[in-house]
Chains A and B, each alone.
Chain A
Amino acid sequence: MAEKMLKFVKIGQQSPPKRDTSERKEDFNEIYKEFIHEKALQQSSRCSQCGVPFCQVHCPLSNNIPDWLKLTAEGRLEEAYQLSQSTNNMPEVCGRICPQDRLCEGNCVIEQSGHGTVTIGSIEKFITENAWSNDWVKPILLKKEKNQSVGIIGAGPAGLACAEQLRKKGYQITIYDRYDRPGGLLIYGIPNFKLEKFVVERRTKFLEESEIKFVQNYEIGKDSSLKELREKHDAILIATGVYKAREVNIPGNDLENIFSAMKFLTASNKKGLGDKVEMFDNGKLNTEGRDVVVIGGGDTAMDCVRTSVRQNAKSVKCLYRRDRENMPGSAREVSNAEEEGVEFIWLSNPKEFKGVNKVENLIVDRMKLDEPDESGRRKPIVKENSEFQLKVDIVIKALGFDPEELPKLFDEDKLQITKWGTIKTDFDTMETNIPDVFAAGDIIRGASLVVWAIKDGRDAAESIQRYLELKTKQTQKVA
Chain B
Amino acid sequence: MSRDIQNLNLLKKNGIYSESMEHDACGVGLIVSTEGKKSRKVVEYGIQALKAVWHRGAVDADGKTGDGAGIHIEIPTNFFKEKIENYGRQYDGGEICVGMIFLPRNDYNSQEKYKTLIETELLKNNYNIYRWRQVPINTSVLGVKAELTRPEIVQVIFKSNDKSLNCKSLERKLYETRRKIEKQTFSNQFNGFYICSFSSKSIIYKGMFLAEALSDFYLDLQDERFISRYAIFHQRFSTNTAPSWDLAQPFRAIAHNGEINTLKGNINWMKVHEEEMFSPIFEDIENIKPVIPSGNSDSASLDNVFELLNISGKSAPLAKLMLIPDAWSKKSKILPKDHLKLFNFLNSTMEPWDGPAAIAGTDNEWVIAANDRNGLRPLRYTVTRDKFMFVGSETGMINLNEQKIVSKGRLGPGDIIGVRIEKGKVYTNNEIKNYLAKEFKKFNNQIIELDKKFPIGNEKNIFDGTELKRRQHAFGYSIEDLELILHPMAEDAKEATGSMGDDTPLAVLSDKYRPLYHFFRQNFSQVTNPPIDSLRENKVMSLKTRFGNLGNILNFETLTEKSIYVLESPILSNSQFEKFISFFGENNQTIDCTFSKDENLESAITKIQNESEIAVRKGVTQLVLTDKKLSEKRCVIPMLLCVGAINIHLINLSLRGYVSINVQTGEAFDTHSYATLIGVGATTVNPYLALDSLYQRFKRKLFQNLDFDECIRRYIKSVNLGLLKIMSKMGISVISSYRGGCNFETVGLSRMIVNEFFPEVISKISGIGLTGIEKKIKNIHKEAFETSSNILPIGGIYKYRKNGEIHQYQGNLIHLLQTAVTNNSYDVYKKYSKGIYDLPPINLRDLIDFKKQTAIDIKEVEPVNEILKRFGSGSMSHGALSKEAHETLAIGMNRIKGASCSGEGGEDEQRFKLMSNGDSANSSVKQIASARFGVTINYLNNCNEIEIKIAQGAKPGEGGQLPGFKVTEEIARLRHSTTGVTLISPPPHHDIYSIEDLAQLIYDLKQINPNARIGVKLVASSGVGTIAAGVAKAKADVILISGHSGGTGATPQTSVKYVGIPWEMGLTEANQVLTLNNLRHTVTLKTDGGIKTGRDVVIAAMMGAEEYGVATTSLVAMGCIMVRQCHSNTCPVGVCTQDEKLRKKFTGTPDKVVNLFTFIAQEVREILSNLGFRTLNEIIGRTDLLKQVSKGSSNLDDLDLNPLFVQTDPGKNKRYCEKQIINEVPDTLDQKIWPEVEKDIDLNKKIEKEFKIQNTDRAVGTRISYQLYKKFGINKLAENFVSLKFKGSAGQSFGAFGIKGLKLILKGDTNDYVGKGLSGATIVIRLQEESNLISNQNTIIGNTILYGATSGYLFASGQAGERFAVRNSGATAVIEGCDSNGCEYMTGGNVVILGEVGDNFAAGMTGGMAFLYDNKNEFEKRVNPESVIWQRPETEFWKNFLKNLIQKHFTETNSKIAKKLLDNFDNEINDFYQICPKEMLDKLENPISTKKIVEIAI
Interface of A toward B, CB cutoff 8 Å: 6, 8-9, 48-54, 56-58, 62, 64, 66-67, 70, 74, 76, 79, 82-83, 86, 109-110, 112-115, 168-169
Contact = CB atoms under 8 A, between A and B. Distances in A.
Given A9-B1142, A48-B1130, 14 more contacts: A6-B1128, A48-B1123, A50-B1121, A50-B1124, A50-B1125, A51-B500, A51-B800, A54-B1121, A56-B802, A57-B811, A64-B479, A86-B789, A109-B1121, A109-B1132
Give the interface residue-count category, chain B.
35 or more
Interface string B1096-1135: 0000000000000000000000000111110010101110
Given A8-B1130, A50-B1121, A83 B810 contact: no
Contact of A51 (B790, B1122, B1133, B1141): B1122
Contacts of A54: 811, 1121
Contacts of B810: 52, 57
Contact of A52 (B790, B791, B809, B1142): B809
A113 B1130 contact: no
A50 B1123 contact: yes
A73 to B, nearest CB: 12
Contact of B791 (A56, A74, A83, A112): A83
16 contacts: A6-B1125, A8-B1132, A48-B1123, A48-B1132, A50-B799, A51-B1125, A56-B802, A57-B810, A62-B803, A66-B799, A67-B483, A74-B702, A82-B791, A83-B479, A86-B789, A112-B1132
B800 A67 contact: no
Contacts of A109: 1121, 1123, 1132-1133
B794 interface: yes
Contacts of B807: 52
B1053 to A, nearest CB: 12
B801 interface: yes
B782 to A, nearest CB: 13
B458 interface: no
A413 B132 CA distance: 106
B700 interface: yes
Contacts of A169: 788
B1132 A113 contact: yes
Nearest to A6: B1130
Contacts of A6: 1125, 1128, 1130
B699 to A, nearest CB: 12
A64 B794 contact: yes
A110 B702 contact: no
B1145 interface: yes
A113 B810 CA distance: 18
Contact of B700 (A8, A76, A86): A76
B814 interface: yes
B500 A9 contact: no
A62 B811 CA distance: 13
- Which 9 A-B pairs rank lowest in CB-CB distance, beginning with the nearest? A51-B1124, A57-B811, A62-B802, A113-B1132, A51-B1122, A86-B791, A52-B1122, A50-B1123, A113-B1133
A52 B805 CA distance: 12
B338 interface: no
A52 B807 CA distance: 9
Given A67-B483, A169-B788, A49 B1125 contact: yes
Contacts of B801: 53, 56, 64, 67
A106 B278 CA distance: 76
B1139 interface: yes
Contacts of A67: 479, 483, 794, 801
Nearest to A63: B802
Contact of B802 (A49, A57, A168): A57
Contacts of A115: 1132, 1145
Contacts of A79: 700
Q: Is the interface of B mostly helix, strand, loop or mixed?
A: loop
B123 to A, nearest CB: 74
A52 B814 contact: yes
Nearest to A112: B1121
Contacts of A48: 1123, 1125, 1130, 1132
A62 B1145 CA distance: 28
Of A48, A49, A52, A115, most buried by chain B (CB within 10 Å of CB) is A52
Contacts of B1128: 6
A150 B322 CA distance: 75
B220 to A, nearest CB: 68
Interface string B763-794: 00000000000000000000000001111001
Contacts of B1130: 6, 8-9, 48
A169 B789 CA distance: 10
Nearest to B804: A64
A52 B1120 CA distance: 11
A70 B484 CA distance: 11
Contacts of B1125: 6, 48-51
A76 B700 CA distance: 8
A76 B702 contact: yes
Contacts of B1124: 50-52
Given A49-B799, A82-B791, A86-B789, A70 B483 contact: yes
A84 to B, nearest CB: 10
A173 to B, nearest CB: 15
B804 to A, nearest CB: 9
Interface string B1138-1159: 0101100100000000000000
A354 B802 CA distance: 53
Contacts of B789: 86
Contact of B790 (A9, A70, A82, A112): A82
A136 to B, nearest CB: 12
A50 B1122 contact: yes
A76 B696 CA distance: 13
A8 B1124 CA distance: 15
Contacts of A76: 700, 702
A9 B1144 CA distance: 13
Contacts of B700: 76, 79
A376 to B, nearest CB: 12
B844 to A, nearest CB: 23
Contacts of B702: 74, 76
Contact of A168 (B788, B794, B1145): B788
A53 B795 CA distance: 13
Nearest to A140: B788
A110 B479 contact: no
Nearest to A58: B811
A50 B700 CA distance: 25
B1121 A52 contact: yes
A58 B811 CA distance: 9
Contacts of A110: 1132
Of A51, A62, A70, A110, most B-chain CB atoms within 10 Å: A51
Contacts of A64: 479, 794, 801, 803
A66 B799 CA distance: 10
A64 B791 CA distance: 12
A168 B791 CA distance: 14
Nearest to B789: A86
Contacts of B802: 56-57, 62
